[in-house]
């Protein structure tokens, strides 16, 4: 069902400071930032090989990333797997008894169509299914 690791999502307190580390120390290059209002985040994608690192900073105190950091601190927050057909992937997961946070695809940064699986069904990892053109 899944094709590759599309990206690794990392929750950060300060996107600018974090970008400084990823760009100037690790030598990656951001493709620019985007605010995803629905998820109350500002994100930056940094391609590496045939995958990407996604840095996520909360734009609101009650946003999911802010809540994640309050509970766990900064760090890896989710792993996104590429799928060809998000509706089909969601249906397949549900059919196999996996609990979905999103039962319908929602908008993801960069125009992706995404859906999260519940970590209680995926051995503790927040998995994002991600379809891109």
* Span interacting with Zn ion, options 12-20, 28-36, 47-55, 84-92, rule CB under 5 A: 47-55
Only one of the segments 12-20, 28-36, 80-88, 93-101 lies at the binding site for Zn ion (rule: CB under 5 A); that segment is 80-88
How far is the first Cα of the chain from the last one, in angstroms, to the nearest whole number?
Answer: 17
Q: Which is nearer to Zn ion, 95 or 105 (CB)?
A: 105
The reply to whether 64 sits near Zn ion by the rule CB under 5 A is no
Half-sphere CA count of 79, side-chain side, radius 13 A: 10
Query: Shortest approach of Zn ion to residue 34 CB, angstroms?
Result: 12
Nearest residue (CB) to Zn ion, 15 versus 80: 80
- Applying CB under 5 A, among 41, 55, 80, 117 the residue interacting with Zn ion is 80
**Alpha-carbon gap, residue 28 to 37, rounded angstroms:** 26
Q: Print the binding letters for residues 4-43 with Zn ion: x by CB under 5 A, - otherwise.
A: -----x----------------------------------
Q: Strand 41-48: give its sheet, edge to edge.
A: 33-36, 41-48, 51-58, 5-12, 75-82, 127-131, 112-117, 106-108
Nearest to 122 by CA among 104, 102, 97, 95: 97
Enumerate binding residues for Zn ion (CB under 5 A): 9, 54, 80, 128
């Amino acid at each position: 069902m899944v094709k590759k690791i599309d990206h690794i999502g990392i929750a950060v307190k300060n996107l600018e400071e974090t970008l400084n580390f990823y760009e100037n120390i690790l030598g990656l290059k951001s493709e620019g930032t985007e605010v995803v209002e629905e998820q109350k985040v500002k994100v930056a994608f940094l391609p590496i090989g045939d995958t990407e690192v996604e840095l996520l900073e909360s734009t609101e105190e009650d946003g999911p990333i802010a809540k994640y950091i309050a509970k766990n601190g900064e760090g890896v927050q989710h792993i996104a797997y590429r799928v060809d057909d998000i509706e089909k992937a969601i249906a397949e997961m549900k059919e196999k008894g996996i609990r979905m946070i999103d039962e319908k695809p929602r908008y993801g940064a960069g125009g992706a169509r995404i859906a999260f699986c519940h970590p209680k069904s995926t051995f503790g990892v927040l998995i994002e299914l991600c379809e891109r053109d």
